[in-house]
Amino acid sequence: MRPLSRDFYERDTATVARELLGKVFIHRTSEGLTSGKIVEVEAYFGKGDPASRASRKRTRLNEIMWWRGGLAFVYMVHANWLFNVTTEREEVPGAVLVRALEPLEGIKVMHERRGVSSERELTSGPGKLTRAMGITKKHHELDLTNSKSELAIIEGRPEQFKIGSSHRIGVSADLKRKLRFFVRGNPFVSR
């Protein structure tokens, strides 16, 4: 289970977002391993992207977006932790929000963490997936390219799927470009 390389992340943010679809997000904990196939993402750039945390200036919260690609960027919105991965090279802000997963391993642990009986409801949204996967602020800044990290994104099984796109969800201002990407027909994509 070798994690994706730094080179994978240090590219155009929208390209990385599209190519994260079908990859597997893993969290190793004392409760056991949880994992899910990435089925929905959103790309965020820096200056000029009104929906981005890095649209105006560097702050303590968004500083990591200017660091190297492949780092966990975790922050809270509406009492939910959101999991992002940084992209681009140093000094070029970018990140991909992971919006939904198709659960693969540790489903019992995910049910316990989420307190829901429906498997479809486990990880079909950015706040749902962080609760199911046990992601919190303590994971902020973890290097996802380090094989010893408790968090990793790895290659998934090769498969064919169609990619859909739309404008990003829940943003008050967006770019004209569609930057939300999802696996068409997958039941775990958020609604």
Q: Domains (ranges, CATH) in the chain?
A: 6-183 (3.10.300.10)
- Cα 96 vs. chain centroid, distance in angstroms? 6
| pLDDT at residue 1 greater than cutoff 80 | no
* Amino acid type, 111: H
pLDDT for position 8: 98
DSSP 139: G
Cα–Cα distance measured from residue 89 to residue 104, given in angstroms and rounded to the nearest whole number: 31
CB 73 within 8 A of CB 59: no
CA atoms within 13 A on the CB side of 69: 23
Sign of CA dihedral 46, 51, 56, 58: negative
pLDDT for position 117: 92
Residue pLDDT, tens place only, 68-127:
999 999 999 999 999 999 999 999 999 999 999 999 999 999 999 999 999 999 999 999
pLDDT for position 106: 98
| pLDDT at residue 191 greater than cutoff 90 | no
Residue pLDDT, tens place only, 6-45:
999 999 999 999 999 999 999 999 999 999 999 999 999 9
pLDDT for position 85: 98
pLDDT for position 47: 86
Q: Which SS3 state, helix, strand or coil, does residue 23 take?
A: coil
| pLDDT at residue 185 greater than cutoff 80 | yes
| pLDDT at residue 58 greater than cutoff 90 | no
Residue pLDDT, tens place only, 141-154:
999 999 999 999 99
Percentage of residues in the chain having pLDDT higher than 70: 100
